[in-house]
Copies of this chain bind each other. A is one copy, B any other.
Amino acid sequence: MSQHLLERLKQLERISAEEEAEILGLPASERHFSRGEDVVKQGSSPTFSCLLLDGFAARYKVLQDGQRQITALHVPGDFVDLHSFLLKRMDHAIIAVTDCRVAIVPHDKLREVTERLPHLTRVLWLTTLIDGAIHREWVVAIGRRTAAQHFAHLICELYLRLEAVGLIHERSFELPLTQAEIADTLGLSPVHTNRVVQELRRSQLLSWRSHILTVHDFDALTKLAEFDPSYLNLDGKPV
* Partner pick for A143 among B89, B140, B187, CB 8 A cutoff: B187
Cβ of A45 to closest chain B Cβ, rounded Å = 12
Given the known interface contacts A121-B118, A132-B131, the answer about A230 and B86 at a Cβ–Cβ threshold of 8 Å is: no
Chain B residues near A87 (CB-CB < 8 A): 126, 129-130, 133, 233
Binds B, one of A23-31, A65-73, A209-217: A65-73
Query: Please, how many angstroms separate the alpha-carbon atoms of A71 and B126 in the complex?
Result: 19
Given the known interface contacts A138-B139, A139-B135, the answer about A129 and B231 at a Cβ–Cβ threshold of 8 Å is: no
Query: Please, how many angstroms separate the alpha-carbon atoms of A231 and B71 in the complex?
Result: 14
* Partner pick for A115 among B118, B143, B231, CB 8 A cutoff: B118
Chain B residues near A91 (CB-CB < 8 A): 133, 136, 228, 230-231
Cβ of A67 to closest chain B Cβ, rounded Å = 5
In the complex, which residue of chain B has the Cβ closest to the Cβ of A138?
Answer: B139
- Total copies of the chain: 2
Chain B residues near A143 (CB-CB < 8 A): 69, 142, 186-187
Chain B residues near A187 (CB-CB < 8 A): 139, 142-144
**Cβ contact within 8 Å between A125 and B86:** yes
**Chain B CB within 10 Å — which of A67, A72, A111, A122 has the most?**
A122
**Chain B CB within 10 Å — which of A87, A114, A135, A145 has the most?**
A135
A74 is an interface residue with CB less than 8 A from chain B: no
CB-CB contacts below 8 Å: A101-119 with B: 111, 114-115, 118
Q: Mark A178-220, 1 if CB is under 8 A from B, else 0.
A: 0000000011000000000000000000000000000000000
Binds B, one of A14-22, A33-41, A56-64, A155-163: A56-64
A92 is an interface residue with CB less than 8 A from chain B: yes
In the complex, which residue of chain B has the Cβ closest to the Cβ of A64?
Answer: B226
A32 is an interface residue with CB less than 8 A from chain B: no
